[in-house]
Structure 1
């Protein structure tokens, strides 16, 4: 749910009240008041200027404080959404609502629309302008459940249920979570960048060319690549082809030359192993208090009923098969993927004392797995 002119509509009085409610007061609150107030605006037409008009809303854009103040201003919205059983992600000028319900639920559409009505009302009371025309709705479900026959309504505007949306931080999600549209979009943009970089090749030494390829191409492959673990080979192949083309461009190899020796020369992990590296690093961080708690809550250590040799091997408890097969995409969920990938690691890597040591040993092990060394 995007907002219109989000930073320009924050009411100073409401914001200062929220800051005071958080425990700020005295000199600190006065300093923030002076940061917000005392600004004015005017309109100039030709050589004529209007009288200055004091600003009672808005935070200065470009300031390091402004995004933080905006998030504080929006914080109560999360409580409104959670009161209806939903969850949310609040970004600077965008809000995502996640609502889960059984496919046969008759109450879910009513509750969701009540939640959206409460959100629109909260926005009005807090002098924010929601933009229903740019709001997207996505129903993630089995194909047999997609003709549900209702539409979410936001501020009087019916939101069509789309088959795919730019839902989360630039990742293109679809109603079946196949990520096919996302992979195709990333591959298309990466090949376009490779085409441009190829024109620079005669003018750059290999090290500089490698830097450019990393900045413009492989960075696109690595962005959110934890999502690609477990994708069908047909889908993942599109991104593998990008990596192969990048390796051939840097090394000057012909199209017919095999990519495996090129990856070894460049010391690159193949695409599928790069994704695995990302997920296993996330698991290590979650288990050692270096990652978000919502991921740590999805996994737990295996604790056998009897004392066994494997008790001290830091293995994770696998997700029960009955749960993993509820939906086809469930097998790619973090709670299912994490135990499988983590338990496949040698015990020395699982028990690495630091993140740096873990990443170093993990890359060496994956390199051997990828190239059979």
Structure 2
């Protein structure tokens, strides 16, 4: 309450970015980039000797920028109460000043060493750490300092809490360093006078320039040192071994933020290693929970400052960030690294990184626009730099032109009126004393065990009527509703004399724009109804009001109270409500379920539908655009554009198109919960990256990519049947015992396929050559250990190492079990096998993909019919989308690759 009163009579300095609405660390970094780029576009002339040594030549150079980062030692604990009291004396409001002085005075401290305590001493410095008022009192304390530093020409000073950054513009170091020293001298004098100590050892400086061949950018002889409090501050220049770090971001001399992007990718890679330990394919969490954790723990690290990096970084840095982001997406669904990034993002239901970065950049421009810090387009450089001279950051006008191209079809442009942003409450704290006369009914509990739809509607109507009946005695009934039918929308309010009355006393409606969300139409409807229907009747003798709405989220937001709102519309609604209560009104806002037969709500819904159809509104014009709706519209359009340009030859696109996967973790046919193993198998099947078939299978087995069920030659079929191969055409791939037990393919015991080695000195047979060597050293120490077998058992070829022998043996053409051995050597995607001719005259057919096996392959038709998949798809008992998220697909793959699934699961 004291903070609310303080902020009502005092506003923090505009160059203080901490503890303020819509001001963040990235906004201060954006302001730094803006200042540096603005200085670079301001050129000056310089005469330099010609290379021939005869005469001078006129050159144009951009201005340089010097950044000085100043650190205060224990800033919050060093605040002098006497100085702070003098500053508080300038604040209006006697009670507020007394409360703040009482908050600071009368505090004591003592020191304890072991069992001994010192005497109590009064606290004459510092503000309580962890308190709500402490940071704002420090901001008030340094308010005169920011006024002092920003009064110098070509100098800009910003603060985030106690971190001070000073930006100095200059033509060269000879010009900028003396100016900076003069400012630092004034800063040192002010800090000594006000009790704040500067820590020179933690102060840093950076010299932002473009050219590497300008000698004046390097102070090799130390002619212009940067000094504060008698200590020299090192200045980072082009070619320095270390970079200056501000708010966790490394700033290189060109300010391209490439170094920051690289380090953020490296830091995210460490978190990826931790996330992989959690996302185990057997015991990991559900995809939805894992996605939440990946976005909050992994992607948040990568996306910090992305709105700035995406505007100034090079393409190589952006590509590295996109690769890291795609790795995070693969962790969610458990697909391997060979899955293409687009399929991985759709499987994880995560938006592309470039969409998030552009959305964040638009948001920061909207925030600066609302904060009246609108950065206009940079002045054109004169003379203009040559092509490829440098990377130009994405400016405000360029970004808005980009946004207009996507939103113009909805009538949204950069000149469209915006809804006012919320900075502080428009309600004085002492004006909220009558808020107790406003009551809000948000919760209406129902029986969640009801599954029948009609019975559920009756239950909703019953609890809604019971809640409204308690307030049916009120004199005025106000029903509000919002409707959205893109590109039409409406927010309406109707005034009734009773709950069951069909006579509408008065009504009001407003056009909410082309792309508003339902929440915004509901809030605009309530604000309009209070302004047009109730406030004009404020002097009426009947002063009891019931507001009926089906927006539970709106009432939940209003239920926080008049002084806790964070949105302009909700703040205006509370202002109207308090205006009524101060005039003696009693107001109750009641939630009711929509579309369940509540008379007042149905009338408002019908009026909203009629208004959208006819386009006749009682209010002229269109409601101002909401900030969230603008970002949502831009994000939706960018995402749709991305989906229209993704690759269409991937396995997942053939099966699912651009539809994101379902992350509920349930079988969409039976609604049963799936295990993590089953979810991973389904995701890999949809992406065509499985150890049993598809691209990963072809690469690991080093075989052709043709379907084994419809492309097999007669010779191969006869050979496989003679060797009792369960994958041979016409062979029942799953033993009857396994089908009777209905063993899940992801729960079968792993089958070991290691080579058996016979001991040359006894009758023992061991698994693997390393076990054989250990056995001989333990039980036959008198004999030398056996030598590895370097000759293939099937073709008598000799190889140099045991590993190369084993790799050849697993792929040897004379080995009947070659297709059942797993080669774990990594292969690049560029080495994936291409279409190869068959060894017989049988023509090559389609590839072995899930799309082919599920819909086209005649060799799997019998299995699909036996499992009922073919008939159920034809009769639309379930859709292909549901099949791709169900155990039926696992059962089909189990029947087709039963032996292999048991081996690799």
- Shift of residue 323, structure 1, vs aligned partner: 7.9
Q: Does 1:177 align with 2:238?
A: no
- Shift of residue 244, structure 1, vs aligned partner: 0.9
Distance 2:93 2:401 in 1: 50
* Residue of structure 2 in register with 1:372 after alignment: 644
Distance 2:315 2:171 in 1: 31
TM-score, reference length from structure 2: 0.37
Which of 172, 187, 195 is the aligned partner of 2:273? 195
- Shift of residue 324, structure 1, vs aligned partner: 7.3
Which of 159, 165, 179 is the aligned partner of 2:244? 165
Aligned ranges 1:225-244 → 2 under 5 Å? 225-230=306-311, 231-244=313-326
Greater CA deviation, 75-84 or 333-342? Answer: 333-342
Q: Does 1:54 align with 2:122?
A: yes
Distance 2:357 2:116 in 1: 60
Contact 2:375 2:396 in 1 (8 A): no
**Cα shift readout 1:139-181 (whole Å, capped 9, x = no counterpart):** 11123443145331111111111242112x2222111112122
- Shift of residue 93, structure 1, vs aligned partner: 2.1
**Cα shift readout 1:311-349 (whole Å, capped 9, x = no counterpart):** xxxxxxx96475874995561153464355345434134
| SS, match of residue 89 in structure 2 | helix
- Shift of residue 135, structure 1, vs aligned partner: 0.6
| SS, match of residue 198 in structure 1 | helix
Q: Does 1:121 align with 2:202?
A: no
- Shift of residue 253, structure 1, vs aligned partner: 1.5
Distance 1:323 1:354 in 2: 41
Q: Name the CA shift for 1:329/1:293 in 2 (closer, same or farther; >3 Å).
A: farther
Contact 1:138 1:161 in 2 (8 A): yes
Which of 147, 155, 167 is the aligned partner of 2:218? 147
Q: Does 1:221 align with 2:302?
A: yes
Aligned ranges 1:7-18 → 2 under 5 Å? 7-18=76-87
- Shift of residue 49, structure 1, vs aligned partner: 2.8
Contact 1:324 1:330 in 2 (8 A): no
**Cα shift readout 1:36-94 (whole Å, capped 9, x = no counterpart):** 11112223333333322212111111101000000110111112212322111122222
Distance 1:369 1:266 in 2: 19
- Shift of residue 286, structure 1, vs aligned partner: 4.7
**Cα shift readout 1:112-145 (whole Å, capped 9, x = no counterpart):** 1011011011101001111010011111112344
Contact 2:287 2:348 in 1 (8 A): no
Q: Does 1:261 align with 2:321?
A: no
Q: Name the CA shift for 1:328/1:268 in 2 (closer, same or farther; >3 Å).
A: farther
* Residue of structure 2 in register with 1:304 after alignment: none
Contact 1:136 1:165 in 2 (8 A): yes
- Shift of residue 369, structure 1, vs aligned partner: 2.1
* Residue of structure 2 in register with 1:332 after alignment: 393
Q: Does 1:362 align with 2:431?
A: no
Contact 1:319 1:339 in 2 (8 A): no
| SS, match of residue 99 in structure 1 | strand
Aligned ranges 1:264-283 → 2 under 5 Å? 264-283=346-365
Distance 2:385 2:132 in 1: 46
Q: Name the CA shift for 1:262/1:107 in 2 (closer, same or farther; >3 Å).
A: closer
Distance 1:269 1:219 in 2: 14
Distance 2:200 2:256 in 1: 27
Distance 1:323 1:260 in 2: 43
| SS, match of residue 170 in structure 2 | coil
Contact 2:84 2:141 in 1 (8 A): yes
Contact 1:40 1:53 in 2 (8 A): yes
Distance 2:381 2:401 in 1: 12
Q: Which runs of 5+ in 2 are unaligned?
A: 1-69, 417-514, 516-624, 646-905
**Cα shift readout 1:226-275 (whole Å, capped 9, x = no counterpart):** 11224222111221111110111112222111111222343433222321
Q: Name the CA shift for 1:119/1:6 in 2 (closer, same or farther; >3 Å).
A: same
* Residue of structure 1 in register with 2:431 after alignment: none
Q: Name the CA shift for 1:323/1:24 in 2 (closer, same or farther; >3 Å).
A: farther
Distance 1:262 1:275 in 2: 19
| SS, match of residue 124 in structure 1 | helix
Query: Following superposition, which runs of at least 4 residues in structure 1 exceed 4 angstroms of deviation?
Result: 284-287, 321-330
Q: Name the CA shift for 1:27/1:360 in 2 (closer, same or farther; >3 Å).
A: closer
* Residue of structure 1 in register with 2:690 after alignment: none
Distance 1:284 1:13 in 2: 40
Contact 2:76 2:126 in 1 (8 A): yes
Greater gyration radius: 2
Which of 142, 145, 158 is the aligned partner of 1:89? 158
Distance 1:225 1:179 in 2: 10
* Residue of structure 2 in register with 1:302 after alignment: none
Q: Does 1:101 align with 2:170?
A: yes
Distance 1:65 1:324 in 2: 50
| SS, match of residue 406 in structure 2 | coil
Q: Does 1:3 align with 2:72?
A: yes
User: How many residues in Structure 1 have an aligned counterpart in Structure 2?
Assistant: 348
Contact 1:243 1:271 in 2 (8 A): yes
Distance 1:286 1:71 in 2: 20
Q: Name the CA shift for 1:157/1:242 in 2 (closer, same or farther; >3 Å).
A: same
* Residue of structure 1 in register with 2:89 after alignment: 20
Q: Name the CA shift for 1:197/1:365 in 2 (closer, same or farther; >3 Å).
A: same
Contact 1:269 1:370 in 2 (8 A): no
Contact 1:20 1:29 in 2 (8 A): yes
Distance 2:300 2:389 in 1: 29
Distance 2:258 2:341 in 1: 24
Root-mean-square deviation over aligned CA pairs: 2.4
Contact 2:407 2:634 in 1 (8 A): no
